A and B are shown apart, each in its own frame.
Chain A
Amino acid sequence: MFKARRIIMAALASGYCLAAQAAGPRAEVVHWWTSGGESAAVRKLSEAYTAAGGVWVDTAIAGSEQARSVAINRIVGGNPPTAAQFNTTKQFLDIIEQGLLNNVDAVALKEGWDKFLPETILNVIRIKGHYYAAPVNIHMPTWIWYSRAAFKKAGIANEPKSMDELFAALDKLRAAGLIPLAHGGQSWQENIVFTAVLANQGGKDLYLKILRDRDPAAINSEAFKKVLLSFKRLQSYVDPGAPGRNWNDATALLITGKAGVQIMGDWAKGEFSQARQVPGKDFGCIAGFGANSPYIIQGDAFVFPKTNNAEAIKAQLLLASVITQPAIQVEFSNRKGSIPIRTDVDSGKMDLCAQEGLKIMKDKSRQIGNGETFLNPDQNGSLADILTAYWNRNVAVEKVQKDIAAALRN
């Protein structure tokens, strides 16, 4: 009897071994998608990768800076992951320069990334002709959300269609005793508000001149001064408890009808759906003012640390290919609150706001990158410092212009 058991165990074991060997390329992926909705989204990626024959090994690390610094430390320490999440910005330029990333040219060329990826994303992943990252999604950080209940209470019948109408709406909200602008006083949130004003009031040309060209003439111009003044004016519509507040708590003010408007990225949809609120019915989303308002693009991408291991390279290429497929893109973005990196997808299953975003994306002239796609992390940080000081203190606008010119100079 024992002999039979031992034979069975041996058979099982060897079968197991065979199965393990037959299992496909193993990809250890470092990312920072850890909350409920994000987890559901990344699970779609891992399921797709497994279905394509791979083995997904998950190393989730909350906090984007933590995750990136761990990825870099592991690369330096000689124990790199197969893929690591970064943003589609200049964050990984230094790593490329050090020769520490593999490229995925094979997949990019075969699947024609040049044809369907937005220009702004191509500019950050294609360096010197090689493709160093696989983009996963596109987030738009400057949506204008509003609570329909609050608007009703303040007697605002229509969505604001311009900056002036926005200020008028904010005034009405204040008169109705509500918090006009729900805001969390953290420097990155102030940066978002600034970017929204620059895009909507300044327009695409001024935006590019300031953030892409860093043109001193544009920075010191009258038009930019007006943008800064509008930015500061928005601060007067914020409640006293705003400093330090998490963005989720600001969205909660909209959800509970205590505040009217929030300027936040499309990830805010997650909070609304958690509270079982529906776009169009409970809350509204405005991508921008005017038919040609810029659609600001930021997003996530996987980079592939350098390795000469053939199995790992196979895994990297398989991953790059899987996550950029249209069907997977929709599944991921639906749960993440983002929109796919390509417009040739079936948008039927996407929510109202995402559909609107995708529609705008199809107009290439409206695509514009986030500040971080043009500025390196240090410049972006310095700009954020100046903006947050201006938001919180009484600084002359001319001084702000001078400071920004100085910060963006190098």
Chain B
Amino acid sequence: MRAKLRLLRRKFVPYAALAPMALIVLVGYLGTVLWSLKVSLSSSRTFPAHDFVGLTQYARLFGNERWLQSLENLALYGILFIAACLVIGFLLAVFIDQKVSGEGVLRTVFLYPYAMSFVATGLVWQWLLNPGNGIQQAVRLWGYADFQFDWIVDQDKAMYTIVIATVWQASGLVMAILLAGLRGIDEEIWKAARIDGIPTWRVYLSIVLPMLGPSVGTAFVLLFTAVVKLFDAVVAMTQGGPGIASEVPAKFIMDHLFGRANIALASAGSIMLLLTVIVLVAPLMYARSRVGSRKGSK
């Protein structure tokens, strides 16, 4: 009898441990999403209204040029940003892992952008990329009179400048995550590879990289959330301009939430954004759960 109780209590403990998460997910997250959904189907302005207008807000959303441009910008930005951060972060982690002298200093150099408020650093990037007194001007003064680097004021290239600045800010964290993963890899692997005479770069590509799977997965998800929530950088650097060339969904939503006092449209925007993310990520997560996120079950 006592053994049965103990067994039951054992089975119960994990559920109890997960109770805070369950509570927060259901009330905090799911509840908020449902609330947003309800508001997006109403005509709320500053405060939630309790009427029902069907899909009017969504129709308005998709007739809105700023919103459509922001989606396009986000897609372009997302691909470039995630790819660049992963590649640069990986290279930085690998190179730092080579027992270089001054590792501590280097690590801090790559990580410090992450520590700084983007309101100020974004302004610095705006100055740097400004054709009048930034990098373009500096290179011209060095003698290259035809050098052009005015992407930030170019309708088609403004988003690339946001990529540059945010990659600067986030690569350090990706490096830290991958470094932690690298440091968890058994020394034996390298020794074995060395004995077998495999070139180092091969070891990294074919052996280490697959072993870093979970770390890369973590970094990828973090980067993806940063992409979807991209806001501070755009506000600090270009304010969504020139015109609406660097508009992003999070900024569209924020502007309508507060400045335009139109929380219904803003909620519609955030529901659409969430749906897009679910559509993109769900197949990935399903595939991962099929393959099994745990290794070692030989």
Contact A381–B255 (Cβ < 8 Å): yes
Report the stretch among A223-231, A352-360, A361-369, A387-395 that lies at the interface: A387-395
Report the stretch among B80-88, B109-117, B127-135, B273-281 that lies at the interface: B127-135
- Residue of A with least CB distance to B133: A241
- Residue of B with least CB distance to A258: B132
> In the complex the two chains form, what is the Cα distance from A391 to B243 in whole Å?
7
Contact A385–B244 (Cβ < 8 Å): yes
> Using Cβ atoms and an 8 Å threshold, which residues of chain A touch B46?
72, 94-95
Chain A interface size band reads 20 to 34
Judged by a CB distance under 8 angstroms, whether B126 is at the interface is: yes
Most chain B beta-carbon neighbours within 10 Å: one of A98, A380, A389, A391:
A389
Q: Determine which of B65, B242, B259 lies in contact with A185 in the assembled complex, contact meaning CB atoms within 8 Å.
A: B242
Q: How far is the CB of A384 from chain B (nearest CB, A)?
A: 10
Contact A377–B259 (Cβ < 8 Å): yes
> Using Cβ atoms and an 8 Å threshold, which residues of chain A touch B131?
240-241
A241-B133, A243-B153 as given contacts; A68 in contact with B258, CB under 8 Å: yes
From DSSP, what is the main secondary structure of chain B's interface residues?
loop
> Using Cβ atoms and an 8 Å threshold, which residues of chain B touch A393?
155, 243
Interface residues of B in 113-166 (CB under 8 A from A): 123, 126, 130-133, 150, 152-153, 155, 158
Interface size, chain B (Cβ < 8 Å): 34
Q: How far is the CB of B200 from chain A (nearest CB, A)?
A: 44
Q: List 16 A-B contacts (CB under 8 A).
A: A65-B258, A66-B258, A69-B258, A76-B47, A185-B153, A186-B241, A239-B132, A244-B238, A244-B241, A246-B123, A378-B256, A380-B260, A389-B244, A392-B155, A392-B241, A393-B155
Q: Which residues of B contact A (CB under 8 A)?
A: 45-47, 65-66, 123, 126, 130-133, 150, 152-153, 155, 158, 237-245, 255-262, 265
Given contacts A187-B239, A377-B260, A377-B261, 17 further A-B contacts (CB under 8 A): A69-B258, A94-B46, A95-B47, A185-B241, A239-B132, A241-B132, A244-B152, A376-B261, A377-B259, A378-B256, A378-B260, A378-B265, A381-B256, A381-B260, A388-B241, A388-B244, A393-B243
Which 8 pairs across A and B sit closest by C-beta, in order of nearness?
A392-B243, A241-B132, A94-B46, A243-B242, A381-B260, A377-B261, A244-B238, A243-B153
Q: Which residues of A contact B (CB under 8 A)?
A: 65-66, 68-69, 72, 76, 91, 94-95, 98, 185-187, 239-246, 376-378, 380-381, 385, 388-389, 391-393
